[in-house]
Structure 1
Amino acid sequence: MDMRAAADRFLRYLKVERNASDLTIKSYGEDLEALVDYLEELYAAPATTGEVSTLDLRGYVAAVSDAGYSETTIARRLASMRSFFRFAQREDLVDRSPAKPLRNPRRKRKLPHFLTTDEISKLLYAPPTNTAAGLRDRAILETTYSAGLRVSELVGLNDSDVDFEQGLIRVRGKGKRERLGPLGSFAAKALQDWLAKRTLSVRSAAAKEKPIFTNKFGNRLTTRSVGRMLEKYIAQTDLDTRTSPHTLRHSFATHLLDAGADIRSVQELLGHKSLVTTQIYTHVSTTRLKEAYEKAHPRAQV
């Protein structure tokens, strides 16, 4: 079962069968929402109860700890997870509770796959610019990476969402939450080149909100189509086959943080409600740390 649906079922159980207080239900709801957001960012897809592992939950607990939350908060979130998965086990939503073995909140967590800056450049320049489809594909890749978009947010963009003068796009994220995303000069140029060639179907042209990215019939592009498009360029460029549309979002966040961007700013740009979800990207390789040390410390080298 989808984790969000299972969490709603658990909260109804607390209210109807356990007669829990509104404050208790609110606390459980907030804890479980933060957990589900983290898992969806980790999987780059909706999480289900059956696929959540103990290692995934250890990663979440480590992220909560790294984000600076108090021991009391960490203990409460652990308690919420254990209660939820005990319920899920009783309801046959899981075979066994992945939260039961949890002890140490600082075990190494799984990291998202991302591309290096050189690999990103290789991918962005893969689409040809002598066809309308190539211009569209380049605009898709540039815009996704420029603003750190989820693929659902990308295909949902309309003409009215783009402000070329300010270099911003309006993004509709999860829970109908809106945010402003940055539109860099390369992405803006790619978008303008595509829009100059785009044709709209009669239906799209008559719609109140005109879709930016369309298929060959002039209708709004689907997330599945974006995935198939990316697979083609991954094969052409010989990049890691784990690369998906969400990899561009992972790379966006990783590159910003590695370059010294403030994590709370990155949180805002990604549209995360909780800093814990953003915390998954705060990984810096030992090599980069060593390079920074050797450049900055006066006695690092002879």
Structure 2
Amino acid sequence: MDWRSAIKGFQAYLKLEKSLADNSVEAYSRDIEKLYQFAETKPFKLKPETINLTDLREFITWAAELGMIPSSQARILSGIKAFYKYMLMEDLIKSDPSELLESPKIRRKLPDTLSYQDINKLIAAIDLSKPEGPRNKAILETLYGSGLRVSELTELKLSNLYLDIEFIKVTGKGNKERLVPIGAEAIKAIKIYIESLRVHIPIKKGEDDIVFLNRRGARLSRQMIFLMIQDLAQTIGLKKTISPHTFRHSFATHLVEGGADLRAVQEMLGHESITTTEIYTHLDREYLKSTISQFHPRS
């Protein structure tokens, strides 16, 4: 089997059988493209079905030499394992060469977070006299108030807003839906945006149900939200490098610091595994340590 056919079949399997979102399908495809590039460097060009465990280990070394960090290597390994699982299911191979492939050791990096004061400063820096002002305020209030991923925010639908009962329905990774509570400040900001700004925008066909729109009536890109947040950080002189995801980390961290149950935070964030959410307990420990250092008489 040639690589192009294998990758195309893999994409169809991810989309149709695994029901993965387009972004996830693209990410997995890029991982296998890298393996294909490696296979093309060999004197006897390797085919998908002829690659063995030794080849895969050599590929990981090759990726590391290109400067790929361990977390990126681990992500690629996840894609390779999924690819060979598909190949095995389709009887395109007799055994899975990735079965004994070990992931590189990753030192889990604690995410950057913002203080509640910094979040207030960022929101206060929004110029509400500009046409996009109320929309941008609603975006930040929603990111922080519900801990959404930026892709979940850009795809948020009017029909999934249940503001009267303080919930929104979110479509997360793998097209999995979840109900997330939304706070009073975010609800207020969304209502102001919809009633004062969105009603006056000429909406593009097919975008009628999308909450956050640009001035041309189309949904916002993730890059637009990223740039908006960076501009606000520059306005208030914030030295940290922040992104939309920083608001998600801050949402989770502040909940854990306030004593929220980890399972509840997991549910709100849409984490499949509790171990992903447990990173916020480490952040909480740092908070506790700093509190002891600051206030304990023996410190």
CA displacement, residues 78-137 of structure 1 (integer Å, 9 cap, x when unaligned) = xx98x96xx9xxxxxxxxx9946x4xxxx8631111111111111122212233311111
Q: Does residue 185 of structure 2 align to residue 159 of structure 1?
A: no
Q: Which residue of 2 aligns with 1:52?
A: 69
Closer, same or farther in 2 for the Cα pair 1:146/1:286, shift >3 Å? closer
Tell me the secondary structure at the aligned position of residue 240 of structure 1.
Answer: coil
Distance 1:114 1:293 in 2: 20
CA displacement, residues 266-289 of structure 1 (integer Å, 9 cap, x when unaligned) = 111010111121122222254634
Distance 2:33 2:277 in 1: 24
Tell me the secondary structure at the aligned position of residue 165 of structure 1.
Answer: helix
Query: 1:180 touches 1:269 (CA, 8 Å); kept in 2?
Result: yes
- Percent identity over the alignment is 35
Q: Which residue of 2 aligns with 1:181?
A: 180
Q: Which residue of 1 aligns with 2:112?
A: 113
Distance 2:226 2:287 in 1: 32
Query: 2:166 touches 2:187 (CA, 8 Å); kept in 1?
Result: yes
- Which letter maps to 1:145? Y
Q: Which residue of 2 aligns with 1:273?
A: 272
Closer, same or farther in 2 for the Cα pair 1:200/1:158, shift >3 Å? farther
Closer, same or farther in 2 for the Cα pair 1:259/1:292, shift >3 Å? farther
CA displacement, residues 53-90 of structure 1 (integer Å, 9 cap, x when unaligned) = 27997xx9xxxxxxxxxxxxxxxxxxx98x96xx9xxx
Query: 1:54 touches 1:98 (CA, 8 Å); kept in 2?
Result: no
Closer, same or farther in 2 for the Cα pair 1:220/1:165, shift >3 Å? same
Q: Does residue 13 of structure 2 align to residue 4 of structure 1?
A: no
Tell me the secondary structure at the aligned position of residue 180 of structure 1.
Answer: strand
CA displacement, residues 230-260 of structure 1 (integer Å, 9 cap, x when unaligned) = 1211110111341011111111111111111
Query: 1:135 touches 1:194 (CA, 8 Å); kept in 2?
Result: yes
Closer, same or farther in 2 for the Cα pair 1:272/1:216, shift >3 Å? same
Q: Which residue of 2 aligns with 1:77?
A: none
TM-score, normalising length from structure 1? Answer: 0.63
Gaps of 5+ in 1: 19-48, 61-79, 88-96
Distance 2:218 2:207 in 1: 14
Tell me the secondary structure at the aligned position of residue 194 of structure 2.
Answer: helix
Q: Which residue of 2 aligns with 1:200?
A: 201
The structural deviation recorded for 1:292 is 6.4
Count residues with an aligned counterpart. 225
- Kindly indicate whether structure 1 or structure 2 has the higher relative contact order, using CA contacts under 8 Å at least 6 residues apart: 1
The structural deviation recorded for 1:201 is 2.4
TM-score, normalising length from structure 2? Answer: 0.64
The structural deviation recorded for 1:8 is 11
- Which letter maps to 1:288? L
Closer, same or farther in 2 for the Cα pair 1:220/1:286, shift >3 Å? closer
Closer, same or farther in 2 for the Cα pair 1:154/1:3, shift >3 Å? closer
Query: 2:207 touches 2:219 (CA, 8 Å); kept in 1?
Result: no
Tell me the secondary structure at the aligned position of residue 203 of structure 1.
Answer: coil
Distance 1:226 1:127 in 2: 13
Distance 1:152 1:186 in 2: 21
Distance 2:223 2:293 in 1: 44
Distance 1:278 1:115 in 2: 18
Q: Which moved more, 1:149-158 or 1:276-285?
A: 276-285
Tell me the secondary structure at the aligned position of residue 164 of structure 2.
Answer: coil
- Alignment of structure 1 residues 81-100 onto 2, 5 Å: 99=103
Q: Please tell me whether Structure 1 or Structure 2 has the larger radius of gyration of its CA atoms.
A: 2
CA displacement, residues 5-47 of structure 1 (integer Å, 9 cap, x when unaligned) = 448999xxxx9669xxxxxxxxxxxxxxxxxxxxxxxxxxxxx
Query: 2:201 touches 2:216 (CA, 8 Å); kept in 1?
Result: yes
Closer, same or farther in 2 for the Cα pair 1:287/1:227, shift >3 Å? closer
Distance 2:208 2:263 in 1: 32
Distance 1:269 1:184 in 2: 13
Tell me the secondary structure at the aligned position of residue 210 of structure 2.
Answer: coil
Query: 1:54 touches 1:99 (CA, 8 Å); kept in 2?
Result: no
Gaps of 5+ in 2: 1-25, 36-47, 52-65, 85-100
The structural deviation recorded for 1:265 is 0.8
- Alignment of structure 1 residues 1-302 onto 2, 5 Å: 4-5=28-29, 6=31, 51-53=68-70, 99=103, 102=105, 109-196=108-195, 197-198=197-198, 199-204=200-205, 207=206, 209-282=208-281, 283-286=283-286, 288-289=288-289, 291=291
